[in-house]
Chains A and B, each alone.
Chain A
C-alpha cells in the first residue's frame, strides 16, 4: 500500500483531495440546503363552500404550479363565516379563503387578512370594474382578489305575462301595476315573494336605488342605512305587502320552491347566479322563464346592483403568504385555467373584465327559452352604482334587518321603521366594537 500511494504524485494527490472534499461539500450542501431552506412542495389549504367547478380549478392550478399544492377544505356555507372568524382568532385559519364581497370588511376588521399589495396585486386593478376594486381595497391596502359577481336582473315567467296580457315592467311603477293585474287575473298568483329572511336581496334593492349605507370618510365610517334611497325601497315594498300583492315568506324554503314550480310566483329579482338555482328549483317550468334587466326607478335610466359575489383572501395564519397570494391572484385572473372554465359551466359571472367573449355572451339556455342570458347580466354589470360600500358589521346589520322584516311582515311595525331601528342598532354595535362612527 505504501508503494501504491507513492505512485500518485504529491500535488495531484492534494488536488484530488480538494476536489473530493469540494464535491462532497457541494453534494451535502445541496441536499441539506434543499431540505432546510424551502420545502419541495408548499401545501396550502383553501376554504370554499363548494362552488361548482372548484375542484377543477384546484387541479389545474396544482398541475401548472409544481411547487405548490392546494388542498380544498369544503366548509359548508351555513356558519362559514362563523367558523372562519373563530379559526382566525385561534390562528389556525386556512391559508386562503373564499369571502363574499359583503362580508369582506367584517373579516378584515378581525385583523386576520394580510395586505396583498406587497405581492404586487395593485398592478391588476385595471382588470376589474372600479366598483369591485373599491370593495376589496380599503384604507390603502388590498385585502382580496375578486373572483365572481352577482349583477342583478329580473327572471320572469314570460308565458304568464303573455297569458294575462301584462307588459313586462321596465320601471318600478310598471312593476307595481303588473303586480295588481296579475293578482287580479289569478288570485293564487303573486308577482313575487317578499322575503324577510334574506337581507342580501334587500341590500341589492337598496343599492340599485342609489343607497349609500356605509362610507369611509377619512379615518371613520359614515352610516346611513335609513337614507332616502333605501326608504323609498322600503315604502315601495310595504305598499305591495299592504295591498297583498306580494307573498310574504321565506325564500330558499320549500314553500317558495313549490310556488316557483307550480307557477304561483311570476318573477324572481335575483343575481346572475340565481339563474342556475332556478333551474334546479323549478325544472317543470323550463322554457317559460326569461331574463330582463331590473325595473328602474326612472324610465330610460337603467340602474343595476350586485347581490353576492366572491373574492379570495389570504389569512394571517398562512405560513406561505407569497404562494397563497399567487393562488388568490390566479383564481381571479387566470382566464384559461380558472375563469373561462367556470363561465362555461354556467351561472358564474366573472369579476375580471374581458373574460367573456362573444361566444360566452351568446350562450343560450333552454330553460330561458334560448335567450342569451349572460348578455343581459353583462349589460347590467356596466350600470352598477359604484358608490356602494359594505360596513364592518354586516352580519349584525343583516340579522337586525331580517329580524325586523320578519316582525314587520307579521304586522309588528313596517319596513321603514325597521330601517330606523337598524340604523340605531348598527351605530350602537359599531361604536361598541370600537369603530369610529360619524
Chain B
C-alpha cells in the first residue's frame, strides 16, 4: 500500500528518477558512512584538542577524555615559545589574504583580456599559462629562492607573496567565465557610451564576474593558506613561518622528532589552523557552490 502510494505521489518535479525504497535506504546508508569517513578525522581533531596529553595516549580516540581541557590547551598553544603560534596564524592570514586579493585582480584582468579581445599571441599566451600548471614545484622553488636572495628578499613576507600573486588557474577560470557570461553587446554598449576600457571593466564587467571573483579568491586563498613547500624553502626564521611550516617544525622538533608536550600542541594547533577555513566555507557556501560551475564549463 505504502509503495503504491509512494509511486502515485511520486515527485512532481520532472527530471528526477523514481527510487524504490530498499535502494534508497542503501544509498542513504552509503552516504551516511561516506559522510562519517569525511568527518571522522575532523571529529577526532575536535575531541583530541580537549584532551590532556595523558588522555591522548590513554583514552580511546573517538571519545572525550576524563577531563575537558580545551581552555588549557588553547592557552598553552598560544603562550608556548613566546606566543609563536599566534604569530604563525597571523602570518598565514597575511600571506593568504594579500596573495588572494592581488592574484584575483591580476588574474581576472588577464583572463578577461584573453576571453574578450582578439589579439596576436592570444592562443600562445593561454597555452603557456596552462602549461605552467604542469611544472613541479621543486623546479620552481629553488631557482625562485636564488632569485629572491639576489633581491635580498629571502626570509621576508615578499618571498612568499610575490610568487603567490601568480595564479595560472585563476586566469583560466576568469577566461572561461568571461567568455561565458560577459556578452559582447554589453561591452559594445559601454564603449559606445564613451567609456574607457578600464572603466568598462571596472563598472560593467566586474559585477558580472562577481561569482568568478569569489571563486578565484577562495581558490587562491586556500592554496596559499595550505601552501607548505614554498614557505618551507623561502623562510628560515620561525617568526616568519605560516602555520603549516610551523606545525611541521613541531612535528620534527629537536633533535629529530616531536617532544611529547608538542604532540598536544600539534593537535590543538591543527584544530585552530583548520577552523578559519571551515568557518569561511560554511559562510560563503552560496558563492563557491555556484562558482564551481566554472570548472566544468569548457572554455
Contact = CB atoms under 8 A, between A and B. Distances in A.
Given A78-B249, A86-B145, A92-B152, A254 B258 contact: yes
Contacts of B154: 87, 90, 92
Interface stretch (A207-215, A220-228, A245-253, A369-377): A245-253
A105 interface: no
A73 interface: yes
A91 B142 CA distance: 14
A280 B261 contact: yes
27 contacts: A49-B254, A75-B238, A76-B238, A76-B249, A76-B252, A77-B252, A78-B249, A78-B256, A83-B236, A86-B142, A86-B145, A87-B149, A87-B154, A87-B236, A90-B146, A90-B149, A92-B149, A197-B257, A200-B255, A252-B253, A252-B255, A252-B257, A254-B260, A254-B263, A257-B259, A277-B259, A280-B259
A204 interface: no
Interface string B143-156: 00110011010100
Nearest to A253: B257
Interface residues of A, number: 31
A308 B256 CA distance: 12
A252 B145 contact: no
Interface of B: 57, 142, 145-146, 149-150, 152, 154, 232-233, 236-239, 248-249, 252-261, 263
A79 B232 contact: yes
A56 interface: no
A336 interface: no
A77 B260 contact: no
Contact of B255 (A75, A89, A308): A308
A281 B258 CA distance: 10
CB-CB nearest 6 A-B residue pairs? A252-B257, A90-B149, A78-B252, A76-B249, A83-B236, A257-B260
Contacts of A258: 57
Contacts of A83: 236
A73 B256 contact: no
A111 interface: no
Interface of A: 47, 49-50, 73-79, 83, 86-87, 89-92, 197-198, 200, 250-254, 257-258, 277, 280-281, 308
Contacts of A257: 259-260
Nearest to B147: A90
Contacts of B255: 77, 200, 252, 308
B260 A74 contact: no
A250 B257 contact: yes
B260 A281 contact: yes
Contacts of A87: 149, 154, 236
Contacts of B145: 86, 90
A279 to B, nearest CB: 11
B35 to A, nearest CB: 29
Contacts of A197: 256-257
Nearest to A283: B260
Contacts of A251: 257
